[in-house]
Amino acid sequence: MVKKLEALCDAICDLFGGMYPSSDAYNLRNPLLVKSWARAGKHEIDEQGRRVFSSFLNGYKAGLYDLELKVKGLSRANVTADSPLVELLLCYQIETSPAVKKIVNFLQRALNDTSISPMTPVSFFTENN
């Protein structure tokens, strides 16, 4: 069975083209295109402030960690555990209706749950739920 948080990570990775060699997500080995908020020089970053990872696995783990903090309401982002999915997606610059719809459709299929919507609380993606 697919873990909810991993399905969310996979959905964002899919939207960003993380498995397509022509995409930034693929070339940066950063499937969620996470940015670095650390002091300058701590992480390798591109010109847009996005982290560059040495492997897809390292980038995926960092993305999962970033998502976990956000869905639990523990990040610096203005997202709480009760925030709707659509607000979490804004943290990744996913703003348009077609992009949100693609994420929701992916999650519904991956988790076999048609009740998932843009308004689903992000706490849904914690492992305790």
The pLDDT mean for the chain works out to: 93
What is the model's pTM? Answer: 0.93
Confidence check: pLDDT of 128 > 80: no
Tally of domains within the chain: 1
Band of pLDDT at residue 38, cut at 50, 70 and 90 = low
CB 15 within 8 A of CB 94: yes
Under DSSP, the state recorded for 34 is P
Choose among 88, 78, 76, 92: nearest CA to 117. 88
Each residue's pLDDT tens digit, 53-81? 999 999 999 999 999 999 999 988 889 99
pLDDT confidence of residue 76: 85
Residue range(s) defining the domain that contains residue 26: 4-125
Task: Give the number of other CB atoms < 10 A from CB of residue 41.
Answer: 8
Residue 88 phi, psi dihedral angles, 5° rounding: -60, -45
Over residues 44-48, mean pLDDT = 91
